[in-house]
Every structure is written in C-alpha cells, then in structure tokens.
Amino acid sequence: MTNATSSRDSGLGYSDLPRLMTLMTGDEKHSFSATSTLDVLWVLYSQVLNIDPNNPEDPARDRFLLSKGHGPMAYYAVLAAKGFIPVEALPTFAQYDSILGKHPDSLLIPGVEIGSGSLGHGLPIATGMANGLKARGSESQVFCMVGDAESNEGSGHEAIAMAGRLKLSNLTAIVIDNRSDATGWPGGIASRFAVEGWSTADVDGRDHGAIQEALVIPHSDQPHVVVALVEPKA
C-alpha cells in the first residue's frame, strides 16, 4: 500500500488539521464525533491507502468508507490537506450550495465512496464491495470506519458474520471506541469480530505508529478489525 501524496497534495500536515477544522462551523454538537476519528483518518490517508487525488476513481484504488458519517469535519479536513478538495471549500460547510454537507455525499465530493450518516450501513456495503473486488481478482483493499455504538446495528452484525464466512482478506474494519455504546460488549468489541473469524488488533487511537502497524497486519485468509480506543465521549 502507498499513501495518497501526489502533485495535488496541498503540502499541509497533521498540525494543520485543527485549523482546517475550525473553518467549518454549524455542526458543533458532532465536534467530538469528528475529532475522535482524526488520527486514524490521517494515518490512513498518509501511510496506508493507495489512492490518488488526481485520479480518485482509479479502478485499482483502495476504498475507504466512512460509515460513521455524522460529524465529518475531520474527514473533510484530511481530504483538503491531501488535495481531494480545495481548502477554500471548508468555510462553506453545511451551506445550501456547498459540496460539504453534514453527511458526506459521494456524488459531490471527489474520493468519497458512499453517502453516509445513517448508521449501520457502511460495513455491509464494504463487505459487498470487498467481495466484488475479490471475485474480480482485484488487489484493492477496502477499509471501513464505524463507531462503537453504531456496531450494535443489526446490519453490522450480519456483515461481520458474512465477511468472516467469505474470508474477505481484503477487508479491514476500524472501530472508533469512545465508549459511547450504552450497553458495552462482553469481552470487548474485538471479541464480537473474533468469534466470526476475523483477525483483531486493539490500539491507542491517538498513537500514529501503533495505528499504522495495526492497519497493515497481514491477514491473508480472514478480514481484519482494528479497535481504536480514544478518550470517552463527554
């Protein structure tokens, strides 16, 4: 896997992301949801994903699906820093004629694979996408980010089971665990995936080195999940 750096890269770095996020206003109630994803998103787009902002629809690209679509400000900031969208678009966030809505829109934003925000749909879509790519003999990888509470959705449970049965080694799920799940998971979130045949890794969701290492762990005959633990939701 290679990173997304290209001639369109803005030259902005991780330290610029807080400033980029402050350019977007109007959805402050989801600010924690956004910041909880920031470090994993940065590592994905800087060190893991094979995707080029000059050719975001390249059939050979890796796919990233943000199922945790509410509060996408961190996602937009990373896309801007990596050259997928202009930085100048960020202050238009949530305005009537903006491409940047409160939920990402795949028809408007280059590099966005799905319209998301209604929770529970990303992982099933990612499972189908990974299965289709596998059937075509593609080497592309599929990554899907979900929230810990979102993982209680029934459609997610079905996707976890199906991906395990199909041995989708081209699929990686990332669960952002900010302890917003009211009921908890016996044995931890990773155990729900492990029982269905997934390989698992638990990491500090703010440690870039640990995140990168966990995302590229070889899993040649099974899907993989990374549970990224961040500070609890206030």
Q: Which residues pair with 63 in a beta bridge?
A: 142
Instruction: Provide the pLDDT for residue 153.
Output: 84
> What whole-number distance in Å separates Cα of residue 19 and Cα of residue 118?
28
Give this prediction's pTM.
Answer: 0.93
> What whole-number distance in Å separates Cα of residue 148 and Cα of residue 152?
8
C-beta separation of 152 from 182 below 8 A? no
Residue located via tokens 């940047």: 100
C-beta separation of 141 from 60 below 8 A? no
Instruction: Provide the pLDDT for residue 90.
Output: 96
Per DSSP, the three-state class of 207 is coil
- Structural domains in the chain, CATH included, are 14-229 (3.40.50.970)
One pLDDT digit (tens) per residue for the chain, 234 residues: 445 444 466 689 999 999 999 999 877 756 767 789 999 999 999 999 999 999 999 999 999 999 987 779 999 999 999 999 999 999 999 999 999 998 899 999 999 999 987 777 999 999 999 999 999 999 999 999 998 888 888 899 999 999 999 999 999 999 999 887 767 778 889 999 999 999 999 999 999 999 999 999 999 999 999 999 999 876
Q: Read off the pLDDT of residues 139-154 as tens digits, 9 standing for 90 and up.
A: 999 999 998 888 888 8
> What whole-number distance in Å separates Cα of residue 177 and Cα of residue 175?
6
